């Protein structure tokens, strides 16, 4: 039997197929050109990946997707799994591709492996959304500007609210890019009598949808029972923002109050610590953060039951994103502001001009990307670092984009052009 190890590739035959040897190096300082011919053990056994020198194997891994390494290659054997356990590899990999400081705010519980997966995936998808996403506008049973969109159930269910008082619920898993009729088939629920005023805010917990309207009502809808309304709460003003969790609803009121509701009870409580309408609201297990037309951000301590900190702004907040120890503010001037919320400090880090020419109406931070919307009709997808440059700008709407929703790679936008923009990464279908 002829030994495959005796084969020699000529200079002409190998040219262009392999990188020059002096260009191959490992991030941690190991250079595979240090391997001497005498170090190579020849064998008639087939050469498999697990028999490669670790330096060569890690070099090969640099050209493979992080998702493949974690969810496929690391499952092959214990030795491959051990290669990708340490945060050092993932931090180095991210820094090599995106050298700007990341994450924007230090987080003790930050998972570098998952962050690398979502950053690579977001960059792959949103650097070329025209080729990587199925994109369409949904206009069925929408007759007025859309002011609220919300994704739930891992991005498979989309709810929307508009000024025609319609509440629409769509099942995005029914979308078939090869069948135009599937867009109509996505409709699960559509009702113009859901509210008697503009539907301005939506939130969810598990399979329960929560809607807030200018008719001063907050309503709960059971999606396990045909999108059936099963409870409602009367407030004293229009509801402009909602946070909904297992046993608590927090809502931003036009009357300057924050409404607090326990769904197990019928009583509605409210607190006032703003001088103008409360436009946006977000919360975690410690704080309720609200933005108001009075140009302040209020941080309410849930345990103490009082305002913990008030932040003065030059331009009022139109939307906020609060997670991963970070508070991102989208303001009336079209800028983004970042606050370090770690250890409860809520310290201003920087104000960013990301290129919007109108008001910034929406902001969503994720470890993979930052999404913003504006009255300039655009959506921007930004790098999620301390200096968020644009990955792409989406110009598909013909009127102001009023709100965004993002979950499990799926993006939805509420448009004043009487439509909902939907982007579904092709690999998720």
Kindly list the averaged pLDDT for each block of 10 residues, start to end, along the chain of length 429: 38 40 40 48 66 76 81 74 79 93 92 94 97 96 97 98 97 95 95 97 97 98 94 97 96 98 92 98 97 98 96 98 97 98 96 98 98 99 97 98 98 98 85
State which H helix or E strand residue 261 sits in: strand 257-261
- 3-state SS class at 394: strand
pLDDT at 43: 60
Instruction: Round to whole Å and give the CA distance between 214 and 196.
Output: 8
pTM of the model: 0.86
What domains can be seen in the chain, in order of their start residue?
129-428 (2.130.10.10)
pLDDT at 428: 56
pLDDT at 73: 74
State which H helix or E strand residue 400 sits in: none
In sequence order, the 6+-apart residues with CB closer than 8 A to the CB of 409 are 121, 122, 125, 155, 424, 425, 428
pLDDT at 44: 67
Helix locations, 62-128, DSSP H: 66-71, 78-83, 87-97, 112-126
pLDDT at 86: 78
Residue 7 backbone class (left: φ over 0; alpha: ψ -120 to 50; beta: rest): beta
Cβ atoms within 10 Å, residue 110: 16
């Amino acid at each position: 039997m002829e030994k495959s190890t005796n084969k020699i590739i000529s200079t002409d035959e190998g040219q262009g197929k392999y990188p020059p040897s002096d260009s191959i190096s490992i991030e941690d300082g190991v250079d595979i050109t240090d391997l001497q011919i005498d170090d190579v053990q020849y064998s008639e056994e087939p050469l498999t990946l697990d028999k490669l020198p670790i330096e060569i194997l890690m070099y090969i891994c640099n050209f493979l997707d992080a998702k493949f390494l974690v969810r496929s290659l690391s499952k092959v054997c214990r030795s491959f799994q051990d290669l990708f356990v340490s945060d050092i590899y993932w931090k180095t990999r991210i820094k090599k591709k995106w050298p700007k400081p990341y994450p924007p705010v230090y987080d003790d519980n930050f998972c570098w492996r998952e962050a690398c997966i979502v950053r690579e995936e977001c960059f792959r998808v949103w650097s070329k959304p025209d080729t990587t996403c199925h994109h369409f506008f949904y206009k069925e049973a929408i007759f007025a500007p859309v002011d609220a969109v919300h994704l739930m159930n891992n991005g498979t269910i989309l709810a929307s609210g508009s000024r025609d008082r319609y509440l629409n619920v769509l099942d995005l898993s029914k979308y078939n890019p090869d069948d135009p009729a599937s867009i109509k088939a996505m409709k699960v629920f559509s009702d113009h009598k859901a509210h008697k005023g503009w539907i301005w805010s939506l939130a969810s917990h598990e399979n329960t949808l929560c809607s807030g309207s200018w008719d001063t009502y907050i309503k709960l809808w059971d999606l396990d029972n045909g999108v059936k309304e099963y409870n409602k709460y009367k407030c004293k003003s229009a509801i402009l923002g909602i946070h909904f969790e297992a046993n608590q609803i927090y809502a931003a009121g036009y009357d300057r109050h924050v409404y607090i509701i326990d769904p197990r009870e019928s009583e509605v409580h409210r607190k006032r610590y703003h001088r103008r309408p409360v436009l946006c609201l977000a919360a975690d297990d410690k704080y309720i953060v609200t933005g108001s037309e009075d140009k302040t951000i209020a941080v309410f301590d849930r345990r103490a039951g009082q305002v913990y900190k008030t932040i003065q702004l030059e331009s009022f907040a139109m939307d906020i994103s609060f997670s991963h120890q970070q508070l991102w503010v989208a303001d009336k001037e079209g800028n983004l502001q970042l606050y370090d919320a770690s250890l409860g400090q809520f310290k201003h880090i920087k104000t960013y001009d990301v290129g919007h020419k109108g008001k910034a109406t929406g902001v969503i931070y994720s470890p993979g990307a930052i999404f913003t919307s504006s009255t300039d009709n655009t959506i921007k997808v930004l790098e999620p670092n301390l200096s968020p440059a644009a990955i792409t700008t989406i110009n598909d709407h013909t009127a102001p984009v009023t709100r965004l929703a993002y979950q499990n790679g799926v993006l939805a936008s509420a448009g004043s052009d009487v439509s909902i923009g939907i982007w579904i990464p092709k690999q998720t279908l």
